[in-house]
Amino acid sequence: MMELNKGDIVTVNFNPTKGKEIGKLRPAVILSSKDDNEILDTVIVIPLSTVIEPNTIPYRVHISSREKLFKNSDACIYEIRALSKTRIKEKLATLDKNEIEVIQKSLCQIVNQT
C-alpha cells in the first residue's frame, strides 16, 4: 500500500453510494493524519468535483489543477467520508499547508454552525 499523507490528492472509488452521496471513481483529499493512516484501516477524505461553484466557502473550496490532477476542482467539504484504504487507487498530487488549513477551517465552520 502506498504512503498516505494529509493533503494528498488520491483517486478513490466512492461506489457503491446511497441516496445523493458523491459516487464514482474521483479524486479526493486525504484529511486524516499520516500516523492515523498507518495504523487504521480507514482514511478520512473529502471528494473533489470538477463542477466549480464560485463563492461557496465553507461548503466548497477551490483546488487548482496540478501534477496529475488535470482539472480545476472544488473540494466538497460537506461530503467528508471515512473509507477503507482499499478504495484508494493512485496518488495524483499534494496540497500545500495553506490549502489544507482552508479546508480544515471550512469543515470547522460547517460543524460549528448553530
CATH number of the domain residue 88 falls in: 2.30.30.110
- Residue 1 located in a structural domain: no
pLDDT tens figures, 30-50: 999 999 999 999 999 999 999
Q: Tell me, what's the pLDDT at 82? A: 96
- What's the pTM? 0.94
- The whole domain housing 26 covers 8-111
- Residue 3 located in a structural domain: no
- Residue 2 located in a structural domain: no
Tell me the three state secondary structure of residue 82. Answer: strand
Report phi then psi at 111, rounded to 5.
Answer: -65, -35
Count the domains in the chain. 1
Instruction: Return d(Cα 88, Cα 31) in angstroms, integer.
Output: 13
Reported as half-sphere exposure (CB side, CA atoms, 13 A), residue 40 has a value of 14
